[in-house]
A = this chain, B = another copy of it.
Amino acid sequence: MSVHDLETPCVVIDLDRLDRNLLRMQARCDGLGLKFRPHVTTHKIPEIARLQMDAGAVGIAAQKVSEAAVFADAGFNDVLIPYNIVNPRKTARLADLALFNRITVAADHPVVIAGLADAAKANEMSLRVILELATELERTGALPDEVVELAKRIDADENLHFVGLLVYPSTPASRPALQEALNLLHNAGIGVDMVSGGGTGAVRFAPEIPELTELRAGTYIFNDWKAVCKSWADMDDCALMVAATIVSRPTTERAILDCGSRSLSSETVDGGYGFILEYPDAYIYTLSGEHAHVDVSKCREQPVIGERVHVIPVRADMVINLHDTVYALRDWQLENQWSVAARGMVW
């Protein structure tokens, strides 16, 4: 079955590119002596996680408890959740999951630690906790001078075990805080087993941050138009595309595709909403829910109604989360069809 037999819009994955992306990342980490832990939130597909593990990954990272549960059920038993899990019902689920799996969970505040401790105690088990350190991203994370106090709190609790530090992204800008925190922990006599860095765009900096023991990355498996625009990847590295059809040609300048923000997401980079493989001079300048509005005025060939094209989306991870199924291709022939098992698992 050819890609041209699939209904559009749909998500297609070039398996040769996917294989190349995953082997290259694993080889890079192996070369640096770093453990590699793919972030499965990007793809949400156990079959892809299996390929990543087979290539040499030590475990996976999942962003939420519900997502971790899908992967644990599928046999992925070493899961890092780089996210503060709060609320008694949610920490109870986490503790349940940790009874049968090696779960490591992040924390950045005494209240978060206290919630984890309560859940672990109720389950009469031990939870592995990694402290998240704030970075230039200015999202979550503690400051270096809070780390010793937080680590002591964790280790003082009989049901919690302090394992180390986590940063996102692991860039040269985030290194001074990481070094400071590690020094403070060392001076306090607190052991650190794990220093986890991350980010597809930050992987190239790993040689400059020897403190890291492992790397997390997600986007690298597909790459996307944003990764290309930010020079994290080349066009030929983009493994995920949205197959689409030209459904209207209202003017000589404008073509309309049947993939809108419900297929491509509303993500934009440099003002564009994706790159059309067959029309590199075309420009997707806006999206409706079910339409892509394309400026084709600079194209030498003009697309016609009914013609099929392939769009490299701005963010592959956002696209995956909109679709229930993806189609895995080799040489544009259907080789496999995968359910996006963890789609919508946001809690």
Contact = CB atoms under 8 A, between A and B. Distances in A.
Nearest to A138: B254
Given A64-B290, A266-B267, A7 B324 contact: no
A291 interface: yes
Q: Most chain-B Cβ atoms within 10 A of its Cβ — which of A87, A262, A267, A291?
A: A262
Nearest to A253: B138
Q: For the complex formed by this chain, how many copies does it contain in all?
A: 2
Nearest to A344: B324
A265 interface: yes
Contacts of A10: 347
Nearest to A291: B139
A140 B109 contact: no
B266 A140 contact: no
Interface string A90-115: 10000000000000000011011001
Contacts of A84: 247-248, 256, 305
A266 B266 CA distance: 5
Given A112-B305, A247-B84, A256-B140, A262 B347 contact: no
20 contacts: A7-B89, A8-B347, A9-B346, A41-B290, A63-B289, A63-B290, A64-B290, A83-B247, A109-B248, A111-B306, A112-B305, A138-B293, A139-B250, A139-B293, A141-B250, A258-B347, A260-B346, A261-B267, A262-B346, A289-B317
